[in-house]
Amino acid sequence: MRELVTGARQKQLRWNELETPCFVIDAQGFVQNVDEFNTALRKRIPSSIVTYSVKTNSLPYLLGLAKEAGCYAEVVSADEYLLAKSVGFSVGNIVYNGPLKSRETFIDALVGGAYVNVETKRELTWLSDLPQGITPKLGIRVNVDLDEVSPDDASPTGGSSRFGFDVKNGEFQEALRAVRAQGLAVCGLHMHRTSATRSTDVYAHLSQYAMEVARAHGLDLSYVDMGGGYYGRMPGKPGYDDYAEALANNLELEWDKVTLIVEPGNALLASPVDYLTSVIDSKRIGAERLLICDGTRLDIDPFFHKSKYVYELIGVREDAPIQTQTLCGCTCLENDVITTIKDKEIEVGDRILFKWEGAYTMALTPNFIRFLPNVYAFDGETYQLVRRKWGVSEASQQSVMSAMPGADGYLFLNAGRRTTLLKNLKKSLGVSANVVAADNWCVAPALYGGDKYYLTPKISDPEYLDYVYRICEQENVKAVTTCIDPEIELLASHRGDFAARGVLALCPNKQTADLCFDKFKMFEYLVDQGIATVLTYDNLCSFKEGLAADEISLPVFIKPRTGSGSVGAERIDTLAELEDRFREPKYDYIIQELMDCEDCDADVYIDTISHKPVAALLKRKIETRIGGASKTIAFKDERLFDFIRQICTVLEFNGPVDMDFFYRDGVYYLSEVNPRFGGAYLHGFGAGVDFFKLIQNNISGIENPDQMGAYDEGSIMLMYDEVIMTHERDLLGDYND
């Protein structure tokens, strides 16, 4: 079976392995465009910023490439703003434009140091929400009528614009007064205006108009944003140096005090992105020869306004006769006709590469008839998949639907109260996941959190595993986990049996499972492996010896050696109290050093292929109830990430793991490991650390890339009670059992 590929760790591909239709990004060509535009500007204007126009192509891979190349992100909506932040742009490296800002992102951007250009009157009312004492990088977009400012560059249908604040009718002045009324200053002007010609003259005239507006209104500018609309690498058209020269010669500013911002979209993105499609059929209608391809004009000309394309024929026979052929797209639209090709006869299987297709194509491609296509990146030698073509799960990911027939099953054994966990899996994987809950009590709430549910025997029943295997077969289960600690050893002992049935058991290997269940054996093993952990004794006699040797002191902490859920755990202050507990013990106790210091935990995903930790959320406990944390706050610490990696070199886990730590005097100590979904993993999922997609990848044989720390610090989880309403007639058994 051909290996599946995804993300940043997929195999290297050759040209003939690219699955069509697809976009192909020349990564080096894109970076070269950024570098050349930057160089052209900085030769003349040292304090200049080249931004990446997110609306032009919002593919996260390209945003990341732009960030690494030194671009700022230019965004025009709350969604784009959040996307830029998620890719890794700091707020201070964002230029925020457009009418679709939200109040929250508007304030966040100003407080965080973004360049923010006001576009609407409602934004002016939000300024009162700004905290005192900040000096925001605040600008106003100026309405530009090209019929007056640069008439030769205006469209034949007129040069007026619906964007910005009009200087002529006084609305710009009203906006200026509204800003000043809040005790703030307008320190920037946004002059973006699309022109019909993209000539250097239009930028000269826009620059001159910006200076007029600034002088007329006494603006002390710290930046001027000249927008986009530039040509890129197009023969016979202005280049980066031409535009930079026009801007530098007409912006009369002190460049040691003022920053120039440009927002190139087409200029950066058009040339380094091609579109590859394959011919899937040919026929004749009358005398006309029609070629049907697997692509569509919607992918490369979403407005249906292009009259010509630059393309290259691939695979066409050298001795093929010359033909006039009409290339048609794959949709049902009669006008999905891409172009007429007068060239060698093209046959089924031949490919056509359309050049210069990176701007306003992917961002406008609809899910019409065929979902979003693959996107590959070329690094100069090989190709990598950077966006997998959409399937049903992606297209329906926010829909509320039951699992598709034949969907992969995810089985949660002894699901208990973990209803939200199951709902989150459904939220993540949508109809591609058949979420199956099982428990031995018919009123376990989590039974009602998935697509299907089963009442099982108890794990001590000799027929329990056979029952589970039958569920796996019935529900096409591809991954199984348990929500209780006592079952972990059982699953670990039968990982091979599950694997033989095509089921991935999300549990450690047998040795690690045994250690996790026996806290004292785990202590001894960790000490032997050089892992910092909590000092532990397994009997009163050895504790007294340690007490006499000053290895440990009272008070201490006791807990059951094989317990879970904090049952039986308590603080002991005196030796007499400790002796009393051991006189007639309720449990097989261990005695631990009382770690009177900060405690924290981590939800960790260990890839089932590499057995390395690839994702984690670190969180401090705000409130703890019996069984775990109920309120937590996320944090990051590379030392703890590294410690987790070290732990995973001596213990073999598979899938989700809950790790508890103490932190004292600059050192992290491992307290406990529960090799299953932790009760507070809900925080991780809510913060975007999605273990379910990682499981889905592993099921498909895909090794997940390292994404440790890919979340925002400071997110807080507040766990609360929910209820599920059902009826006695719907129960699978007797609730008294």
Is pLDDT at 564 greater than 50 in this prediction? yes
Residue 731 lies in a domain: no
Is pLDDT at 256 greater than 60 in this prediction? yes
Report percent pLDDT > 70 for the chain.
97
Residues 620, 711: one domain?
yes
Rounded to whole angstroms, the Cα distance separating 594 from 592 reads 6
Residue 730 lies in a domain: no
- Residue at which a domain ends, from 324, 357, 390: 357
Residue 232 lies in a domain: yes
Residues 118, 207: one domain?
yes
Rounded to whole angstroms, the Cα distance separating 362 from 302 reads 9
DSSP 2-49: PPP--TTSPPPB-GGGPPSSEEEEEHHHHHHHHHHHHHHHHTT-SSEE
Residues 131, 88: one domain?
yes
506 neighbors 481 (Cβ within 8 angstroms): yes
Rounded to whole angstroms, the Cα distance separating 10 from 375 reads 13
Residue 628 lies in a domain: yes
- Residue at which a domain ends, from 309, 326, 357: 357
Q: What angle do CA 321, 322, 325 make, to 5 degrees?
A: 120
Element spanning 452, H or E: strand 452-455
Q: Is the pTM of this model over 0.85?
A: no
Residue 188 lies in a domain: yes
What the block records as the tokens of 590 is 């261990």
The Cα-based distances of 429 to 343, 404, 448, 504 in angstroms read 46, 11, 18, 17
Instruction: Give the per-residue pLDDT at 389.
Output: 96
The rounded Cα 623 to chain-centroid distance in angstroms is 29
Residues 582, 603: one domain?
no
Residue 492 lies in a domain: no
Residues 181, 224: one domain?
yes
Instruction: Give the per-residue pLDDT at 397.
Output: 73
Residues 179, 66: one domain?
yes
Is pLDDT at 15 greater than 70 in this prediction? yes
CATH number at residue 653: 3.30.470.20
Residue 452 lies in a domain: no
pLDDT digits (tens, 9 = 90+) for 274-293: 999 999 999 999 999 999 99
* Mean predicted confidence (pLDDT) in 712-731: 82
Residues 94, 201: one domain?
yes
Residues 126, 48: one domain?
yes
Considering only 635-644, 660-669, 722-731, which range has the smallest mean pLDDT?
722-731
* Mean predicted confidence (pLDDT) in 122-148: 96
Rounded to whole angstroms, the Cα distance separating 640 from 662 reads 11
- Beta strands 655-664 and 598-606, pairing class: antiparallel
Considering only 208-217, 317-326, 689-698, which range has the smallest mean pLDDT?
317-326
Residues 279, 224: one domain?
no
pLDDT digits (tens, 9 = 90+) for 522-541: 999 999 999 999 999 999 99
- Location of structure tokens 């996107």: 375
Q: What is the domain count for the chain?
A: 4
Q: What angle do CA 85, 635, 94 make, to 5 degrees?
A: 15
pLDDT digits (tens, 9 = 90+) for 466-496: 999 999 999 999 999 999 999 999 999 999 9
Average pLDDT, the chain: 93
- Residue at which a domain ends, from 329, 357, 385: 357
Q: Which domain holds residue 165?
A: 27-269
Instruction: Give the per-residue pLDDT at 4.
Output: 39
pLDDT digits (tens, 9 = 90+) for 343-397: 999 999 999 999 999 999 999 999 999 999 999 999 988 999 999 999 977 887 7
Instruction: Give the per-residue pLDDT at 399.
Output: 63
> Among residues 607, 619, 570, which one has the least CA distance to residue 591?
570
Rounded to whole angstroms, the Cα distance separating 53 from 359 reads 10
Rounded to whole angstroms, the Cα distance separating 605 from 648 reads 11
Residues 74, 209: one domain?
yes
Residue 177 lies in a domain: yes
Residues 126, 170: one domain?
yes
CATH number at residue 545: 3.30.1490.20
Residues 117, 211: one domain?
yes
* Mean predicted confidence (pLDDT) in 676-702: 95
